Amino acid sequence: MNRNMMRQAQKQLAQLQKIQEELETLTVEGSAGGGAVKVVMTGKQIVESVTIEPEAAEEVDLLQ
């Protein structure tokens, strides 16, 4: 591998690491069933909370 290719690879790796660090600071929320079920996760893929509305727990079709 020539030096130019090695520098490009190192630059791309540094950019990837920076993007990963930025993503780790994010918090995302997903919902289903019209908002009856909500999940909040960090950018590190750690679940912070899961909320299930009582009405959703009673509807078996929504739980499957």
pLDDT at 29: 97
pLDDT at 33: 85
pLDDT at 54: 87
pLDDT at 56: 77
List the CATH number of the domain containing 29.
Answer: 3.30.1310.10
Q: How many other β-carbons are positioned within 10 Å of the β-carbon of residue 15?
A: 10
19-55 tens-digit pLDDT: 999 999 999 999 998 898 999 999 999 999 999 998 8
Which residue range(s) make up the domain with 21?
A: 3-63
pLDDT at 58: 74
Q: Please give the tally of structural domains in the chain.
A: 1
pLDDT at 8: 95
DSSP category for residue 45: S
